[in-house]
A and B are shown apart, each in its own frame.
Chain A
Amino acid sequence: MDRKRCCVKLSVHPSRGLMDEKFTVLVQNVLPGFQLTVYAFYKCEGGYSWEAFAHYTASATGAVNVSEDPSRGGTYSGVEPMGLMWSLRPVPGSKSGLRMRKMNVQTPMEVTISVYQGHLTEGFVDQVPLAAVVVERWYMAPGVRRIPITEGGLTATLFLPSGPGPFPGLLDLWGGGGKLVEYRAALLASHGIAAMALDYLTPQITKETGKMQHPQILGSRIAMLGLSFGTSVTLRMAVYSQVIKLRCAVCISGSHVQPIDGSVAQIMTSFNDNADKTRFNEEQHVIWRDLLMPIPTDASLKVDVGRLRCPLLLVVGEDDQNWPSYESAMDMKEMMQRAGNEHLLTVLSYPNAGHLIEPPFTPSARASAFKTISNTPQTGVCVFMVLWGGEPVAHSVAQEDSWRKTLVFLRVHLSSWAISPDSRFIF
């Protein structure tokens, strides 16, 4: 019996945390100078295996602290406290084009963290680790309530923070892939914001005349957060809606370029009109950023952000290969400067970050499979290998930094004087 095994002490603290919280991985009771590999393993809801690993050398006290010590190689290098999360990638031999997205937010991600002797790069499954622990990563803080909404033809999920309220409200919109993705709204509720994730593409809404049906319970003053195509909808609402008065808006990886007359569905069609501008890289990954380029000068082809009356936070990755988000941000800045409302604008622009700027520590990939919702029944659903762009370390930095700043932005602008006497929400 290998006595050495029982001596290695491995701990992760906190063992249960929110997805956007950091943890500390500590290895103790090994010999000074001992070479080891810290390994993370996760089996996602789709049944696919993901892994990350890093090579460390124990200190003079026989310990490794992942938050403080440098990795000498693996799926990340250098000092990266959360590298074991954001550098997770499908194990060798996996199906291509995978993207990690938790659909059931009521259960945690369970990641197994192990420590192996030596500097390994493969064959983890065939070796017995020295020790292993499990860490739970939650999207919902204790007490956060998940409320599915189906009234009024909507497909949405509302997340209420724990406590009596009242809470500021936010509408959370994802991109052109459709589907109801809840994890960002769940995390926002864990930070005290009542957030509703809205599936605005699959239901009737695409057939509406551009006016978005909004649920009464949110009242008329809320924040809106959109990513990718969600930005197109958010900007349109922020500037033109007579019904929704936004308190503030956050737009991630999107553009203001869209035909301003016409429905939300028609925005998508207009992109398809430029489909011939699609490019491909050497790996045949689809690059769609040129579909909206060059940024038009014609005012009818872009949201008139000069008329914006609420604060706007733009988050863009400079290596976005899917949308020309950086160029759009620069054009929006210029338009607002000319209109005199530039003081409302904050731009967070991240070098070498890609399109999918997700909550912190979410693994990113330069490309993945993407299913579009087609609005013409004939074409149906198409799957592409889409290039998002981004270099992993820089992209991870962008996710962590922009999330923190987004939370501050929302907190600052969602404070208010007035309270509806009968509602939990403020206006």
Chain B
Amino acid sequence: EGAPVSLVRARWLQSVVISVTPSRALVDETFRVAVQNLPPGSPVTLHSLHRSEDEDLWEAFGHYVSDSRGTVSVADDFSFGGTYTGKEAMGLLWSMSPVPGSREGLRLRKKNVCIPQLVNISVYGGHVEEGFGERLPLASTLTERWHLGPGVRRIEISERGVRGTLFIPPGPGPFPGMLDMWGGGGGLLEYRSALLASHGYASLALEYFTAGELKSADKEFSYFETAFNIVREHPQVIPDRVGLFGLSLGSLMASYLAAESSVIEPRCCVCVSGGHLYPRGANLQQLFRAYSSHSHKLRVDEHNREIWRSINLPIPEDLSQKLDVGKINCPMLLVNGIDDQNWPTVECAEDMAHMMRAAGKEHLLTRIEYPDAGHLIEPPYSPHSRATKFIKDVILLWGGQTKPHADAQEDSWRNILAFLQKHLYCTQNPKAKM
């Protein structure tokens, strides 16, 4: 290329502008990515890059063509290729995957919620498929994605034997409360509670066994009841408006508490990718032993990834192997992915509905099931991983296809927030002295 061409390119180079609006947002908020001052009708690649807390690089990209005014708007234009296609305002986030050459089985999870996720959004000339690191973008900008809204308070809880982190919304309160439980991976994961608090719920992220120590989990149910009471008794929590939120094993715990506890009365319950298979009277240790006894049913796929869903199929007829969901007295929202390869969540949901109907409690149940969504239904726009490392080097197949799974995350979160709003905040206008 001769000097005149590079001068033209240089001029083009300096005036291209990329913007992300808003540049700082909560992780469940949408943004608008726009590029201006491109030559009209020119092919460009929009690219996102994120370095995780574990130092892995995640990226996504879409191929666009600028319009007659030289602009590209991700929210309004079609991506013709890349890690996502079509009109996808948030594709640069939910279609992220580890960059080529990364370690296997990675999952993106925020540990420190007090600082945002930083995502670099760039625009490259042409339709690029790889080697982004070796090219110079035309323009790039940084955007911050937060789990924690301004003014939300984070309080470490270590009392009455309970370990967790409580997030309280800003303001005088009092607020509805939540007990938030994750799954079999264990440890303390704060990000969903931080987000729930940013939406007005005082939420306790509960640690009920150490990360990776599922087999030695030995907490009795009184542990969960005590945790619930810690939320309920907090001066800024409305005592009769505390709900339960669980995913996977946490969802099973939530259902157990709703059905069996004589100590606590959850106001409502959100169960994501859970079930009701539970030997009656068992504690956590006995539960795992019961599951392990079926491990001969474990399958692996062609990549040696473990498929657990058939371990507990078919759903037993024997009532002593299942929670007595007919005893549940609060509204339940069940959110499941039809392609869940880890747990037969849809079959469980079906059976739960049957049991609740028999007990005259069907009106309490709401079921949402998403085709081609997998087990790990997380807050919106987080990347989907079909299989990841679970404990040690075992890779589990969670299921789901990226685009339908992303849609499920977005849609279910909206439904979950509406469900919580309905049952934990008033909907009717109060008769107040005005």
Seen from chain A, the residues whose Cβ lies within 8 Å of a Cβ on chain B are 1, 3-7, 9-10, 14-18, 29-31, 33-34, 62, 110, 112, 114, 128-129, 131-136, 138, 141-143, 162-166, 192, 415-417, 419, 426
Contacts and interface: CB of A to CB of B under 8 A. Distances in A.
Given A112-B170, A133-B151, A163-B141, A4 B22 contact: no
Interface string B139-150: 111111010011
Most B-side CB within 10 Å, residue of A29, A33, A62, A135: A29
Nearest to B171: A132
B291 interface: no
B148 to A, nearest CB: 10
B425 A7 contact: yes
A11 B241 CA distance: 21
A416 B14 contact: yes
B432 interface: yes
B329 interface: no
Interface string B8-27: 00110111011000111110
Interface in B317-354: none
B137 A164 contact: yes
Nearest to A30: B429
A7 B241 CA distance: 13
Contact of A16 (B141, B150, B176): B150
Given A131-B172, A416-B11, 5 more contacts: A5-B174, A141-B23, A162-B142, A164-B139, A192-B17
Contacts of B120: 143
Contacts of A134: 149-151, 170
Contacts of B140: 162-164
Contacts of A128: 172
A135 B150 contact: yes
B19 to A, nearest CB: 9
B114 interface: no
Most A-side CB within 10 Å, residue of B14, B22, B241: B14
B172 A129 contact: yes
Contacts of A164: 136-137, 139-140
B238 A143 contact: no
Given A29-B426, A164-B136, A133 B14 contact: no
Contacts of B11: 416-417, 419
Most A-side CB within 10 Å, residue of B15, B170, B238: B170
A15 B26 contact: yes
Interface of B: 7, 10-11, 13-15, 17-18, 22-26, 118, 120, 136-137, 139-144, 146, 149-151, 170-176, 200, 238, 241, 425-426, 429-430, 432, 434
A110 B429 CA distance: 31
Contacts of A136: 24, 150
Contacts of B432: 4, 31
A58 B120 CA distance: 41
Contact of A419 (B10, B139, B146, B170): B10
20 contacts: A5-B172, A6-B176, A7-B425, A14-B24, A15-B149, A16-B24, A16-B144, A18-B23, A29-B429, A110-B150, A110-B151, A132-B151, A133-B151, A136-B24, A142-B23, A142-B141, A142-B143, A143-B120, A143-B142, A166-B14
Contacts of A417: 7, 11
Contacts of A142: 23-24, 118, 141-144
Nearest to A134: B151
* Interface SS, B side: mixed
A377 B367 CA distance: 79
B238 A163 contact: no
Most B-side CB within 10 Å, residue of A17, A138, A163: A163
Contact of B141 (A29, A33, A143): A143
B24 A17 contact: yes
B14 A6 contact: no
Given A132-B171, A162-B140, A192-B17, A34 B22 contact: no
Contact of A14 (B7, B15, B25, B141): B25
A145 B23 CA distance: 15
A114 B151 CA distance: 12
Most A-side CB within 10 Å, residue of B7, B26, B139, B146: B139
Nearest to B172: A128
Contacts of A133: 150-151, 170-171
A111 to B, nearest CB: 9
Nearest to B18: A163
B151 A16 contact: no
Contact of B426 (A7, A34, A143, A165): A7
A18 B25 CA distance: 12
Contacts of B22: 14, 16-17
Contacts of A30: 429
A259 B151 CA distance: 52
A95 B150 CA distance: 29
Nearest to A110: B150
Nearest to B144: A142
Contacts of A135: 150
A18 B425 CA distance: 31
Contacts of B170: 112, 132-134
Contacts of B146: 16
A131 B141 contact: no
A138 B24 contact: yes
A164 B120 CA distance: 12
A161 B271 CA distance: 44
Contacts of B174: 1, 5-6
Contacts of B150: 15-16, 110, 133-136
The 8 closest A-B pairs by CB, nearest first: A134-B151, A143-B142, A132-B171, A16-B24, A134-B150, A142-B142, A7-B426, A14-B22
Given A16-B150, A17-B22, A192-B17, A7 B141 contact: no
A91 to B, nearest CB: 19
B14 A419 contact: yes
A192 B140 CA distance: 11
A278 to B, nearest CB: 45
A163 B139 contact: yes
Contact of A6 (B141, B142, B143, B241): B241
Contacts of B151: 110, 112, 132-134
Given A6-B174, A31-B432, A34-B434, A426 B238 contact: no
Contacts of B172: 5, 128-129, 131-132
Given A1-B174, A6-B174, A162-B140, A31 B14 contact: no
